[in-house]
Amino acid sequence: MANDTNSRPDGATPVPTAPPPGPAEALSTARQVEELADKLSECADSIHERVMRDIRHHQGQDVPESEQSAARALLNAEMELRQRANRLYAEAAGCIVSSLGQPQQHLVQLTVDAADKIRRITRIGDGITLVARLLGLAAAASTGQVVPILAAVEGLKVQLDVVAIDNAPTAPAAPA
């Protein structure tokens, strides 16, 4: 708070911004980066779980071509997400962490929501878009630049809302 001159120019979010990292700060930043990587790994686990659920659903019968390609697309996304997570682990290990540009709790909550939605998603097509948004966030997080991270956060938030509407028990509402 005392260091207002150092706050970022994104006036829209009135959160107490972190002062520039000192020696002690660097430790918590590495921890934060590790935590985000944990969540991304969990999202990858969710994707895998979701894909496997569909496959098991066929009980050893042939899986239609369209579902196969959806499963492969998700598998590729899962793999990419694991690489993003491993990138963050490597950053945390080398303490060459870049700023996450967002309050940690906010990012973590978004990824937790995403992991949950992916697991419970009904239409696999929604899953692909949601996962693409998640990948966008994971990619932005390792840049440490505020603008791409904010954009990625927005994209993920919107998609989470779309999925929430589509998965509602009532008749599916068309997304705007």
Partner 1 sequence: MDLRRCVTCFVLAASLLLAGCASTNQVSLAEVRQFADASARLGGYGELSRRFRDTYEREQPYLSPAADRIAKENDARRRAVYDDFVSIQKTVVLYMQTLSVLAGDTRYDLSDRIDDLGSGLKANAESGLQQRQIAAYTGLARLLTRVIASGYQNRSVETMVRDGDADVQILLEAMITLTRLYAKTNDNEKKTVLGIFDVEIPFSTKTSDRMLVTLAKVHYLSKSTEYKLVDKRYDLALQGLTKVALGHQKLRENINNLHGDEIRKMLAAYARDLTSLRDALSD
CB of 86 to partner 1, least distance (A): 5
* CA distances (Å), origin 77, targets 67, 84, 161, 166, 169: 15, 10, 20, 22, 28
The position carrying tokens 């992916």 is: 118
The position carrying tokens 């692909």 is: 128
Q: CB nearer to partner 1: give 128 or 165.
A: 128
Q: CB nearer to partner 1: give 15 or 112.
A: 112
Q: How many CA atoms lie within 13 A of 100 on its CB side?
A: 26
Residues engaged in binding partner 1 (CB under 8 A): 23, 26-27, 30, 34, 37-38, 41, 44-45, 48, 51-52, 55, 58, 60, 62-63, 68, 71-72, 75-76, 78-80, 82-87, 89-96
Burial of 156 (0-12, 13-18, 19+ CB in 10 A): buried
Q: CB nearer to partner 1: give 77 or 100.
A: 77
Q: CB nearer to partner 1: give 73 or 162.
A: 73
Alpha-carbon gap, residue 81 to 91, rounded angstroms? 15
CB of 138 to partner 1, least distance (A): 9
Longest dimension (CA), the chain: 64
CB of 72 to partner 1, least distance (A): 7
CB of 112 to partner 1, least distance (A): 17
